[in-house]
Amino acid sequence: MYKHSKEAQSNLSPAMALQYLKEGNLRFVSNLRANRDLLSQVNATRDGQYPFATVLSCMDSRTSVELIFDQGLGDIFSIRIAGNILNQDILGSMEFGTQLAGSKIIVVLGHTQCGAIKGACEDVQLGNLTPLLDKIKPAIDSETSTPAENRNGKNAEFIKKVTEYNVRHVIKQITAESPIIAALVNNGAIKIVGGVYHLENGAVTFFEE
């Protein structure tokens, strides 16, 4: 189990960080949460923080990454926004989380039945939500196997495919738009992985190619 210390964080490899997340999700799915004293963690982290992971996920109320991965206070930098899309502020937060704060992995986490994905597929127009959903459009365009008459928010298989494409698109964006993160990936200091959280059973499927 990860401990709150700079030494533990620095000795952690990206592969080990991913394994911690996998083990945590297995505990979550099995309803076997780790025994942790949250108040003790408050005290342990009051003078500093050494999270091992930075996770970009959706704002959906059912997708709290600390719960999904059975982690405690100070373990994860959690960045949440509808549709787990990327913008400059989020990218800057990721650079802080990795380059400055030392986390060893970036996870881009989509989820099934995502309202933002459905909204983008339905071309929803609503104030400031419109430009946010527009950031999902490249993922919709990447999914070419679904015929035009079925490319809508009611087609569960289409939504599933767009959700996965959206995660992959964001991963490509991260390294394309951040030379800092790209350099960390290239020298093996961190890794970026994508995944999808399944609302139906609590499991996370990681893309590790």
User: Is 20 within the bounds of a domain?
Assistant: yes
Distance CA 109, CA 80 (A): 10
List Cβ neighbours of 148 (8 Å cut-off, separation of 6 or more).
none
Identify the three-state secondary structure at position 76. Answer: strand
The pLDDT score that the predictor gives to residue 2 is: 56
The pLDDT score that the predictor gives to residue 3 is: 60
Task: Find out whether 114 and 60 touch, Cβ atoms under 8 Å.
Answer: yes
The pLDDT score that the predictor gives to residue 183 is: 98
C-alpha R_g of the chain = 17
pTM value is 0.93
Which CATH number goes with the domain that contains 41?
3.40.1050.10
Any idea of the CA torsion for 140, 77, 191, 8, to the nearest 10 degrees? -160
Distance CA 198, CA 205 (A): 8
Q: How many domains does the chain have?
A: 1
The pLDDT score that the predictor gives to residue 6 is: 80
Closest CA to 104 of 161, 62, 52, 65: 52
Q: What is the pLDDT along the chain (209 residues), one digit of tens a residue?
A: 556 678 888 889 999 999 999 999 999 999 988 888 777 778 777 877 889 999 999 999 999 999 999 998 889 999 999 999 999 999 999 999 999 999 999 999 999 999 999 999 999 999 999 999 999 999 999 999 999 999 999 999 999 999 999 999 999 999 999 999 999 999 999 999 999 999 999 999 999 76
The pLDDT score that the predictor gives to residue 209 is: 61
User: Is 1 within the bounds of a domain?
Assistant: no
Other beta carbons within 10 Å of 186: 10
Any idea of the CA torsion for 93, 94, 95, 99, to the nearest 10 degrees? 120
Domain extent at residue 101: 6-207
The pLDDT score that the predictor gives to residue 49 is: 85
Distance CA 81, CA 75 (A): 19
User: Is 176 within the bounds of a domain?
Assistant: yes
User: Is 101 within the bounds of a domain?
Assistant: yes
Closest CA to 193 of 133, 103, 67: 103
